[in-house]
Amino acid sequence: MTGLAGCSGGGDGEYPDGDITYIIPFSEGGGTDTYARQFISHMGDELGTNIAIENVPGAASLRGTGQLYNADPDGYTIGGFNPPSTPVSAMVNPPEYDMTKLEGIGTYARTPFVVVANPSYEIEGFEDMIDRYADGELEIFSGKERGGVDHVLALLMKGNDSYDLQWDRYVGYDGTGPAVQATISDEVPVSIATDTGAAGAAEDDRIDVLACLSSQGSEVFPDIPSTTDLGYDNIDFLGQLVRGVFAPEGTSEDHIEVLTEALEAALQTDEVQSWSEETGNVVEYGGPESASNAVADAFEQIPEQVDLEAVRDAASQ
């Protein structure tokens, strides 16, 4: 599928007829950024226009998502975030907007979380890490910002008898990229990361990957065990992301159709498929409902599983 440019724009001329901005609510170098820099240019090629990536980190991804929400619904500002991650941030620190009203464009991947460590500690797997926190040898645990999904995962593993991960202090960063970099530099010993965001550093042996937090495992790290493989409780409702693309509320159905067709075509290009095969990063297209449902499901399921008030208290400390 090529040459989508010039499709009807719902009565207001050909769409698109100008550049499009793609907002990423995380810093450069993380999983969301890594994926975008693989497929967004191809999506632009399909549309016959330029799509400029704009990283807008902050507030556990709510700042950039808010910028997307408040943009004109004209089809020229779109963005990507990853349920349940950004919905968790909104449940912990409710913003002045309702992200369930964003228009889904499509989904492009499933990405699990992994736990990574600085190699200088010579941690021999996830269970050894648990023991070292219990012994007090390790105290600091890390990931994305406090109140975000990584922090919730860390609190869940701390409060769950199956994991009993006894970290003393959580340090949060603006995205997986900065969290991984902090682990490499030994600013923190261990952090949660997306497998995509950890791949480059792991390939260069700058970090060790200890376990995958999704029972489905990681195609990026197929030899790394999942925590459920190791006998710990299943935490899939938080342990993996659905990566989605969204538009502001009120974006026309015609524009959504053009955009989702371009997304699907971009994911099918030889370049993106080769990257997926070479790296293990999953690429799979889902339509607009897939993106919208991922957000709705997060808001429905997570409050049933997580003490959000306790998370709010921990995030404010």
Please answer whether residues 103 and 248 qualify as being in contact, where contact means their C-beta atoms are separated by less than 8 angstroms: yes
Helix (H, G, I), strand (E, B) or coil at 203: helix
Domains of the chain (ranges, CATH numbers):
7-107+244-315 (3.40.190.150), 112-238 (3.40.190.10)
Please answer whether residues 180 and 117 qualify as being in contact, where contact means their C-beta atoms are separated by less than 8 angstroms: no
What's the whole-model pTM score? 0.86
Write the CB contacts of 37 (distance below 8 Å, at least 6 apart in sequence): 53
pLDDT tens digits for range 30-68: 999 999 999 999 999 999 999 999 999 999 999 999 999
Beta bridge partners of 193: 114
Would you call 250 exposed, middle or buried from its count of C-beta atoms within 10 A (0-12, 13-18, 19+)?
Answer: exposed
pLDDT tens per residue, the chain (317 residues)?
Answer: 445 555 544 445 799 999 999 999 999 989 999 999 999 999 999 999 999 999 999 999 999 999 999 999 999 999 999 999 999 999 999 999 999 999 999 999 999 999 999 999 999 999 999 999 999 999 999 999 999 999 999 999 999 999 999 999 999 998 899 999 999 999 999 999 999 999 999 999 999 999 999 999 999 999 999 999 999 999 999 999 999 999 999 999 999 999 999 999 999 999 999 999 999 999 999 999 999 999 999 999 999 888 999 999 998 88
* pLDDT for the residue 317: 81
Beta bridge partners of 172: 143
Secondary element (H or E) of residue 48:
none
* pLDDT for the residue 12: 54
